[in-house]
Amino acid sequence: MRINRRSFSRAFLGAAPAFGAWQAAAQAPAAHSGSYFDRNTFDFWSRQAGAARARASSRGLGEVDRQAQFLLYTQSGLVNPQPHDFPVQHLIEAPNAAIEMQVLGFRPGRNDRQHFENLKSAHLRLDLGQQHSIWASLLDPLTWTAFAAIFPSRRGKLPKLQSMNFDPASSWRNKKILLPNGRGSWNLNFFVQDRESFFCRLLGLAGQEAARFAPVLGLPGITTDALHAFNVFYGGVQARAHTHWLFQSSAVEIAATRDAASLLAAGGSAILLTSGVYVVVPQDQYDLIHRHRKDLWLQFGYILPQKESFTAELVQRTLPDITYLTLSVAVKPATLPSVSV
C-alpha cells in the first residue's frame, strides 16, 4: 500500500483521536513466528520522544551514549549554550520569539560511516514545540515535526557533503515557529536501519537513491495528544527493523529570550537559543570535540581547523572519529496574533 504524503498528513491531523486502530496494529509484533520487533525503539518513540508529560516516568529509556549534545559556534570557538556557561545577554530582549532553523550539514564519524555501507535508509526527525500556547484559553501548545531521509546508493555511498542539508520549512506551511514567552523544546533524532523502513514503504519512498536529504513528511502545528498518538504509530512501524542511533533526544528545553532564560531551573540541561550555528554530537563524543573547541571553525556547515579552507577531504580528516550535524538557527522578536471572541 502506498499513501500520498500530503494526504497522510491531512488525514492524520484531522483524525488523530481515531488513530487507535493504527496504534494497536503498529505496536503489536506480527503474529507469525520469526517477525522482528525492536521493543527498545518502540518504547522510546511511544513513551519518551517529544512527550514532555512522559519524561518523569520514562527515565532510563534510550541510549545514553547517543544522547544529542549541543554546542554553539562563536568567534571564540565552540561554546556550551547552557545558562551556566553562556551569557543571557546574547539572547533577544522580547516577550516572544520566532524561530527558523535549517540543517546545514552532516558528517558521520569513522565508526558510524561503516553503518552506511549496509543500510537501506537513514532517518532524521526534528521536533520544535511550544511550552505555552498562543491563546492559552483556546488552544493547546503546538509542535512542528519534520522528517527527512537519506537513501544511499546501492554501494552504500552517501550524498556529497554539499548536499547534506535540509530545510524543515519545506515540510511545514510556515517558515517561522512562534514561541510564546520565548520557551519551548526541541528534539533531534537521527538513526539508520539495515532494512527498508515500513514508514518509507508506506509513503512510497523505499528503494530510492537520493543525492541529498529527501523531505519525507511534515506535521505542522499539532497538539500534544495528537503528537503522542503519532509517536505510538511511528514507533511501531520503525520497530520493524533494527535501529542504530546516531543522535537521540527527547524534549530538550529551550529558552530564546532573556526573560525565558531567567525562569530556567538552576543546574538544568536547557539550551539557550540565539541566532547562530549549533553543532550536535553524541554524548560519548562530546569530551573529544570539547577539548578542541577553540581550535576549530565552521565553513559551509562543516568543522575545519581554524583558518583552513573548505575541501571535502579536509572535512573528513578533521576529528574523523566524531559524528556531527550542524543546525542554523535564527531567532527574532515576535508579536503573537490577536484573537477576537
C-alpha cell, 113: 560511516
Q: Per-residue confidence at 30, pLDDT binned at 50, 70, 90?
A: very low
Predicted local confidence at residue 217, as pLDDT: 85
Half-sphere exposure in the Cβ direction for 54 (13 Å, CA): 20
Each domain of the chain, given as residue ranges in start order, spans 5-15+37-333
Q: Contact 27/236 with Cβ under 8 angstroms?
A: yes
Predicted local confidence at residue 201, as pLDDT: 65
Predicted local confidence at residue 159, as pLDDT: 73
Q: In the block, which residue shows the cell 530545510? A: 167
Region of poorest pLDDT, from 30-39, 65-74, 332-341:
30-39
Q: Per-residue confidence at 285, pLDDT binned at 50, 70, 90?
A: very high
Q: Contact 209/149 with Cβ under 8 angstroms?
A: no
What does the alpha-carbon distance between residue 142 and residue 220 come to, in Å, rounded to a whole number? Answer: 8
User: Alpha carbon of 53 to those of 13, 59, 69, 224: distances in Å?
Assistant: 20, 12, 22, 9
Q: Cα 178–183–187 angle (5° rounding)?
A: 85
The model's pTM: 0.86
- Exposure string of 16-40, with b = 16+ CB inside 10 Å and e = fewer, is beebeebbeebbeeeeeeeeeebee
- What share of residues in the chain are helix, strand, coil (percent, to 5)? 30, 30, 40
Predicted local confidence at residue 57, as pLDDT: 39
Predicted local confidence at residue 135, as pLDDT: 81
Half-sphere exposure in the Cβ direction for 25 (13 Å, CA): 5
Region of poorest pLDDT, from 15-19, 277-281, 294-298:
15-19
**pLDDT digits 0-9 by tens, 205-256:** 555 555 567 778 889 999 988 999 999 999 998 888 888 899 999 889 999 9
Predicted local confidence at residue 254, as pLDDT: 97
* % the chain with pLDDT above 70: 76
What does the alpha-carbon distance between residue 57 and residue 227 come to, in Å, rounded to a whole number? Answer: 18
C-alpha cell, 168: 524543515
Predicted local confidence at residue 196, as pLDDT: 66
Residue 291, pLDDT > 90, answer yes
Q: Which residues pair with 130 in a beta bridge?
A: 184
Predicted local confidence at residue 188, as pLDDT: 94
Predicted local confidence at residue 120, as pLDDT: 67
- Cite the DSSP H helix spans in the chain: 5-15, 20-27, 39-47, 110-115, 198-202, 224-238, 258-262, 286-291, 312-317
Q: Contact 270/252 with Cβ under 8 angstroms?
A: yes
Pairing type for strands 271-272 and 252-255 reads: parallel
SS3 readout for 110-162: HHHHHHCCCCCEEEEEEEEEECCCCCCCCCCCEEEEEEEEECCCCCCCCCCHH
**pLDDT digits 0-9 by tens, 31-70:** 433 578 889 999 999 888 764 444 433 444 568 899 999 9
Mean pLDDT of the chain: 82
Q: Who has greater pLDDT, 24 or 154? A: 154
**pLDDT digits 0-9 by tens, 124-182:** 999 999 999 988 766 789 999 999 888 766 665 677 787 788 888 887 777 899 999 99
Residue 15, pLDDT > 50, answer no
Predicted local confidence at residue 47, as pLDDT: 86
Q: Contact 162/204 with Cβ under 8 angstroms?
A: no
